[in-house]
Amino acid sequence: MSQVVAALTVSSALAVQLTTVKLQLALTRRYFRFFGFIDSFQRMSALLGKDGFSSVAGMLELAKCTCFGLYFVLEDLTTLHAMGVYPVPWNGRVMDQANTFWFYALSFSVAGAIWSLLVGPAEQPSNKNGKRKNRKTVSEKDTPVKPTAASARVKQIVVDGCDLLIPLELLGWMPTGDVVVGSTMVLSTLLTAQEIWTRV
């Protein structure tokens, strides 16, 4: 939100203050995801030991987790520079690589969600025992299928699609401006916060 207001404000002093707020908030978010690479690599290890290469969905998930893990590691290497504690000359190059992996991770996430919506259910392995393949309990037959999985996938596509604009802007691959990027960040944050609130 501060990024949008800073871009629209006519006061240079206020714009500087809001830009400082934006940078500090971005740095705070980096603290919270500092150990994010652990979860990513654990997920990657689990996929390698299970079905990471046995399906398109598995390969997309494996690629996503790998790219997210590399993104977190590279970003962590520049944390002290971002804090102003230990400036390094290679910060820009490392962050470019980090944002590149971030872009790939989000792209794989969007592709995986779209795949799950279109052909994911057909990719699930069927029961090898033909006699038990169509056997269902009474509760399974009578209980309607809730569209929560599909709606979650759609929300994931929207959120990741919004977040994709950030690395594209940072890398200079698709400059959209602070207003567009800031607005999509607000939308992404609201959708994510709504999901978290629903879980609570």
User: pLDDT (tens digit, 9 = 90+) per residue, 76-107?
Assistant: 999 999 998 999 999 999 999 999 999 999 99
Residue 34 lies in a domain: yes
The pLDDT value given to residue 75: 95
Q: How far is C-alpha 100 from the geometric centre of its chain's CA atoms?
A: 13
Residue 73 belongs to domain spanning: 8-122+148-198
Residue 130 lies in a domain: no
Residue 194 lies in a domain: yes
Say how far apart CA 184 and CA 3 lie, in whole Å.
11
pLDDT tens digits along 109-120: 999 999 999 886
3-state secondary structure at position 174? coil
Say how far apart CA 7 and CA 196 lie, in whole Å.
29
Residue 134 lies in a domain: no
Residue 71 lies in a domain: yes
What is the mean predicted confidence (pLDDT) over 133-144? 43
pLDDT > 80? residue 1: no
Task: Name the pTM for this structure.
Answer: 0.75
Residue 115 lies in a domain: yes
Say how far apart CA 96 and CA 46 lie, in whole Å.
28
What is the mean predicted confidence (pLDDT) over 145-166? 83
Residue 48 lies in a domain: yes
The pLDDT value given to residue 11: 57
CB-CB contact of 18 with 179 (8 Å): no
Least Cα distance to 165 among 184, 141, 138 occurs for 184
Residue 133 lies in a domain: no
pLDDT band at residue 122 under the 50/70/90 scheme = low
Q: What percentage of the chain exceeds 70 in pLDDT?
A: 74
Looking at the structure of the chain, the number of domains it has is: 1
The overall average pLDDT reported for the chain is 79
Q: How many CB atoms lie within 10 A of CB 109?
A: 24
